[in-house]
Structure formats: C-alpha cells, structure tokens
Structure 1
Amino acid sequence: MMWLIRFLLFALIIFLFYSVIKYLLNPKRKLELAHEQKRYFFLDDGDNVRKNFLTTYKGVLFEGEKYLGTTDNAFEVISIFIWPRNLASLKGMVREDLQFIERKIHEQYPNAKIDWKSPIKEFMEKSKTPDTPFGIHS
C-alpha cells in the first residue's frame, strides 16, 4: 500500500511539473504577456496557411489573414490582409510603427503583398502621396 501512495504522489508531482512547464511555454500566454508589456510578438502556425496569425506591437493586437498562391518556384503565401482587433488601441501609432510590423511580416513571408484593412489602409496610402502646396495633386 505504501508503494502505491508513493507512486501516486510521484506521478502527481511529475504531472504538476509538466503542467507548469507547458503553461510557461504556451505561445498564447507569451502573446498576451507581450501585449500587456507593449512589446512586439508574432504568433503564427507557419504550417497551417488557413489559420490566421496574431501579432502585437505597442499594445495593439493585429490579426492577419494569409492567402496561398503561386510564385515562380512554389506555392507560398502571396497575400496578407491585416487589421487591428481594437480600433481604439491605435491611438498613438505612427507610420513607422506600421512599417515595422510590415518588415517583420516580410521576414516570415517574403513573397507576400501586405494589405491593411480600413482605416489603416487609407492612412498608409495618404502617407505615400507627397504633399503639394494648397493640396493640389497632379
């Protein structure tokens, strides 16, 4: 009987240790922690094209939708649509922040064309056109 109790206690300790390690290494927990600390983090299942990715930067959580297509050599992700989960959290974001996110996504998906959903799309397009006197564009 004593051996059985020792074995069950040992199994319980191993199970608790395994659960703690699994919790600490959970990517979703890391994403939430980075989001709270306003750091950059990219969470993606690279093997599953149908699953959206999540990225956080400066306290804003973005979701990206990947689309598979063909390149010269292979089938790869060629198009990505990104949007913020909460529009109000965009307060204080600048163009350089969004460009940083684009660069980081291009590191993962170099052949992808990145499109932002509204209102970031309009903000990024507006920032590309040079300002001319009196708002006149040719």
Structure 2
Amino acid sequence: MFMILIRLALLALFAFIIYSIFKYLLNPKRKLEIAHEQKNFYLLDQRSNVRKNFLLTYKGVMFEGEKYLGTTDRAFEVISIFIWPKNPEKLQGLKKHDFEFIQKEVRKQYPDALIDWKSPIKEFLKGERGLR
C-alpha cells in the first residue's frame, strides 16, 4: 500500500513538473524578453483589459503604451494611445520609418486609435529635432 502512495506521489510530481515547463515556455512575458534580447518586434497586450498598458519591443528598445477608451460611431473602442520609451537613451539609431512601423503594428490592434508619442519622440517626428 505504501509503494502505491509513493508511485502516485512521484506521478503527481512528474505531472506538475511537465505542467510547469509548458507554462514557462508559453508565458507571453518570456516571449517579450526573448524578442527584446534578440532585438525583434513583439507586442504584449491584453486587448480585453483597456486599463492595462501594453508593452512592445523593437530593435532592443522597450516601449510602453497607455490606452484610453472612448466612443466611435459603432461602439466603445480604444480611441487614444500614448507611447513612450522605457529607456530614452536606447533610442539611438532609430529612424522615422522605425516609429512608422511601430504605429502601423499598433494600428493593426487598434484601428480607431489616435497614436501620440511622448517626448523626445514627439519632437523628433514633428521635425523639431531633425537629424543633424
């Protein structure tokens, strides 16, 4: 009887370890960290939760976006998004077309949203601080 309990405990432990490995491999934050390290694009967002900000990484720069709910002709949708870099010093080397790419990818998720950038990107895109 005692051997059966030990075998069941080992089986349960094995199942828990397998479950933990799959949960770790499929974790979206882990995918974001990998994309950030590899300098790829990745957008981590909970579309169903408007109050939760989204994170995105592009070319090794981490951005955060804040969503605001409003009304459109059809329904309540996200109508405004503010995006800013988490570390502005890492923006070196990014060009205007990089920010246009980010805007295009965010618009795929939120087509009705007006996207605004916070400083210093806002000034760069307006041309106030062009390339010298």
- Shared fold per TM-score greater than 0.5: yes
Structure 2: distance between partners of 1:28 and 1:89: 20
2:82 counterpart residue number: 81
3-state secondary structure, aligned to 1:111: coil
Structure 2: distance between partners of 1:7 and 1:56: 44
Q: How many Å apart are 1:91 and its aligned residue?
A: 0.7
- Look up the equivalent residue of 1:6 and give its one-letter code: R
- Look up the equivalent residue of 2:11 and give its one-letter code: F
Structure 1 stretches (4+) deviating beyond 4 angstroms? none
Q: How many Å apart are 1:58 and its aligned residue?
A: 0.3
Structure 1: distance between partners of 2:94 and 2:15: 45
2:24 counterpart residue number: 23
3-state secondary structure, aligned to 2:127: helix
2:36 counterpart residue number: 35
- Look up the equivalent residue of 1:7 and give its one-letter code: L
1:49 counterpart residue number: 50
Q: How many Å apart are 1:123 and its aligned residue?
A: 0.5
3-state secondary structure, aligned to 1:39: coil
1:135 counterpart residue number: none
Q: Unaligned regions of 5+ residues in structure 1, if any? A: 128-138
Q: In angstroms, what is the RMSD of aligned CA positions?
A: 1.1
Structure 2: distance between partners of 1:87 and 1:121: 12
Question: Could you report, residue by residue, the CA deviation over 1:10-36 in whole angstroms, capped at 9, with x for unpaired residues?
Answer: 000000000000000000000000000
Structure 2: distance between partners of 1:9 and 1:91: 53
Structure 1: distance between partners of 2:108 and 2:126: 22
Q: How many Å apart are 1:94 and its aligned residue?
A: 0.5
Q: Unaligned regions of 5+ residues in structure 2, if any? A: none
Q: What TM-score do you get using the length of structure 2 for normalisation? A: 0.95
Q: How many residues align?
A: 128
Structure 1: distance between partners of 2:82 and 2:30: 24
Q: What TM-score do you get using the length of structure 1 for normalisation? A: 0.91
Q: How many Å apart are 1:81 and its aligned residue?
A: 0.1
Structure 1: distance between partners of 2:71 and 2:7: 59
Q: For residues 110-129 of structure 1, what are the structure 2 equivalents within 5 Å?
A: 110-126=111-127
Structure 1: distance between partners of 2:126 and 2:115: 13
